């Protein structure tokens, strides 16, 4: 009988390094010392689990979850959907997916965001959901606007949605950002370009998905997420010892 | 050509950015959408064991406290059991062992209340000293940083802990050990995390 064992070693070559000087804030916030490699123990192969009691109906609808009754957020209406899989291509079920984003003008509902684009009174900017048995999730929202940020004097973030995903173990915890196919700001964004591997950037880019588009309602974009996968072993699982 | 392996590649990390609070702790930014927020209560009402407070700052390479940092906490209960189906044993009803903590927007100080965890099994029959697993994200952190908090009143268990034992040179182990203060009503463990430079905290590739 095969039993699940350690997670595959994280392939750091597809992730941004801690120190990425073109993204200036990383310079003083990046460790100098090498990370110490840890073989998984029970502390890493466990992690928080979530259920339907943790979320409410409508949390995944950013068009309406902050809007006044009968109102809706302003902007290009989209469905952002996909699957959460692991490196073995198995669905990650019942896992919490959280998103946050700027409004259609590129403005966040946050006291530290002083960009002159206006707030949308009907848009809060966050949503959450659980994946289903196929690892599938979806959100309804507006396509976020590009926005300027202080790095060099004239840097603009491509349109993006921030994603937070759990999996089943603390070793799988991931925060990332999803971009949109065809955005000319992607190749010139210092944050995107902290990722050294162009194929890894391409996998962060949601694709226009006409098959999931709802006519006269919302354009769909597809974004699949892959979390770390696990070995299975033919031998006794000794992670917890005797 | 050889047949390609059919593994998928992990999705790349990106920084949580300056507005992580909107997504993960929205009511802290005044956004009231959810009927309840996740990660506010680590232990639930029925947890046994010693109630403690953990406090600290996350400091950058210039010694400045991060005011926009978010930390996730993952720990076992006082008996050393994680609330997870792969861990043998049971936890108290309502105990999750998971929490979210943000720094104060003005001072950068953060704190959380919990119960002191028990020791947990290590690999190959070893025993790990009581510890709290931490995951740190913020603007300027490109991939979440994993570290562990150990307790300075667990000297014997710490000395035998296989993870602390991997840290070389040994003096860097001290960066993982919180210091206890019993002067108040509740025991407080102080744990400052230094991202870079002198006294840099040990971070793990888990
Ligand atoms: Fe953003």
User: Is B62 at the interface with chain A, CB within 8 A?
Assistant: yes
- Residue A240 scores a pLDDT above 60: no
Q: With bands split at pLDDT 50, 70 and 90, how would you rate the model's confidence at A239? A: low
What distance in Å separates the CA atoms of residue A209 and residue A154, rounded to the nearest whole number? 32
Contact B13 A56 (CB under 8 A): no
End-to-end CA distance of chain B: 34
Q: Hey, what are B87's tokens?
A: 């861990």
In this structure, what DSSP letter does residue A193 have? G
Assign a CATH topology to domain A55-227.
Protocatechuate 3,4-Dioxygenase, subunit A (2.60.130)
Residue B206 falls inside a structural domain: no
- Residue A242 scores a pLDDT above 50: no
Q: What is the pLDDT of residues A64-95, one digit of tens each?
A: 999 999 999 999 999 999 999 999 999 999 99
What distance in Å separates the CA atoms of residue A206 and residue A222, rounded to the nearest whole number? 5
Residue B85 falls inside a structural domain: yes
Q: What pLDDT, on the 0 to 100 scale, is given for residue A241?
A: 46
**What's B103's domain CATH number?**
2.60.130.10
* Active-site residue list of A: 108, 147, 157, 160, 162
Question: Around Cβ A121, how many Cβ atoms within 10 Å?
Answer: 13
Q: What pLDDT, on the 0 to 100 scale, is given for residue A235?
A: 59
User: Is A174 at the interface with chain B, CB within 8 A?
Assistant: yes
Domain ranges of chain A: 55-227
Alpha carbon of B35 to ligand 1 centroid (Å):
24
Residue B202 falls inside a structural domain: no
* B205 → closest Cβ in A37, A164, A191: A37
Mutate to test the interface with A, among B16, B20, B22, B69 (most CBs of A within 10 A): B22
Q: What pLDDT, on the 0 to 100 scale, is given for residue B23?
A: 98
- Residue A1 scores a pLDDT above 70: no
- Residue A3 scores a pLDDT above 90: no
Mutate to test the interface with B, among A8, A14, A28 (most CBs of B within 10 A): A28
- Residue A142 scores a pLDDT above 80: yes
Contact B206 A225 (CB under 8 A): no
User: Is B26 at the interface with chain A, CB within 8 A?
Assistant: yes
Distant-in-sequence, close-in-space partners of B136: CB < 8 Å, separation ≥ 6: B58, B69, B70, B71, B144, B145, B146, B147, B193
Which structural domain range is residue B172 located in? Answer: 13-194
* Nearest-neighbour CA in chain A from B111: distance (Å): 20
Q: Residue window 42-61, chain B: list those with CB within 8 Å of chain A.
A: 60-61
Going residue by residue through chain B, which has 206 residues, state the pLDDT in tens, using 9 for 90 and above.
677 788 999 999 999 999 999 999 999 999 999 999 999 999 999 999 999 999 999 999 999 999 999 999 999 999 999 999 988 889 999 999 999 999 999 999 999 999 999 999 999 889 999 999 999 999 999 999 999 999 999 999 999 999 999 999 999 999 999 999 999 999 999 999 999 999 999 999 99
Contact B203 A240 (CB under 8 A): no
Beta strands in A107-182 (DSSP E): 126-130, 136-142, 147-149, 155-157, 160-165, 174-180
Give ipTM to 2 decimals.
0.96
Residue B34 falls inside a structural domain: yes
Residue B129 falls inside a structural domain: yes
Q: What is the mean pLDDT of residues A193-203?
A: 98
The number of domains in chain B is 1
* Nearest-neighbour CA in chain B from A190: distance (Å): 11
């Amino acid at each position: 009988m095969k039993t699940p064992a350690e997670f595959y070693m994280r392939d750091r070559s597809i992730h941004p390094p801690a120190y990425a000087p073109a993204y200036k804030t990383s310079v003083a916030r990046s460790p100098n010392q090498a990370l110490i490699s840890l073989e998984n123990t029970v502390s890493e192969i466990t992690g928080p689990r979530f259920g339907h009691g943790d979320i409410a109906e409508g949390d995944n609808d950013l068009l309406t979850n902050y809007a006044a009754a009968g109102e809706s957020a302003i902007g290009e209406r989209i469905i952002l959907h996909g699957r959460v899989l692991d490196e073995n291509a198995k669905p990650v079920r019942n896992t919490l997916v959280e998103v946050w984003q700027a409004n259609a003008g590129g403005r966040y509902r946050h006291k530290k965001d002083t960009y002159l684009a206006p707030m949308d009174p009907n848009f809060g900017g966050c949503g959450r959901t659980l994946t289903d048995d196929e690892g599938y999730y979806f959100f309804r929202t507006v396509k976020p606007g590009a926005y300027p940020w202080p790095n060099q004097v004239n840097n603009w973030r491509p349109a993006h949605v921030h994603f937070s995903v759990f999996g089943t173990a603390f070793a799988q915890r991931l925060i990332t950002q999803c971009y949109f196919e065809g955005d000319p700001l992607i190749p010139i964004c210092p944050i995107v370009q902290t990722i050294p591997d162009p194929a890894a950037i391409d996998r962060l880019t949601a694709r226009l998905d006409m098959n999931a588009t709802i006519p006269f309602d919302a354009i769909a974009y597809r974004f699949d997420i892959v979390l770390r996968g696990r070995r299975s072993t033919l031998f006794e699982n000794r992670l917890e010892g005797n | 050509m050889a047949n390609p392996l059919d593994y998928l590649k992990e999705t790349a990390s990106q920084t949580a950015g300056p507005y992580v609070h909107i997504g993960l702790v929205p009511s802290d930014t005044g956004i009231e959408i959810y009927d309840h927020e996740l990660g506010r209560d680590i232990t639930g009402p029925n947890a046994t064991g010693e109630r403690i407070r953990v406090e600290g700052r996350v400091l950058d390479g210039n010694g400045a406290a991060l005011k926009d940092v978010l930390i996730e906490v993952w720990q076992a209960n006082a008996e050393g059991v994680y609330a997870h189906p792969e861990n043998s044993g049971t936890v108290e009803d309502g105990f999750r062992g998971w929490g979210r903590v943000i720094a104060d927007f003005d001072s950068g100080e953060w704190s959380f209340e919990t119960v002191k965890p028990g020791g947990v099994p290590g690999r190959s029959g070893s025993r790990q000293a009581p510890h709290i697993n931490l995951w740190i994200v913020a603007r300027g952190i490109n991939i979440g940083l994993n570290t562990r908090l150990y307790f300075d009143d667990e000297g014997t268990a710490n000395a035998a802990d296989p993870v602390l034992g991997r840290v070389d040179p040994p003096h860097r182990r001290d960066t993982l050990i919180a210091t206890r203060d019993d002067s108040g009503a509740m025991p407080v463990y102080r744990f400052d995390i230094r991202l870079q430079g002198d006294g840099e905290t040990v971070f793990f590739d888990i």
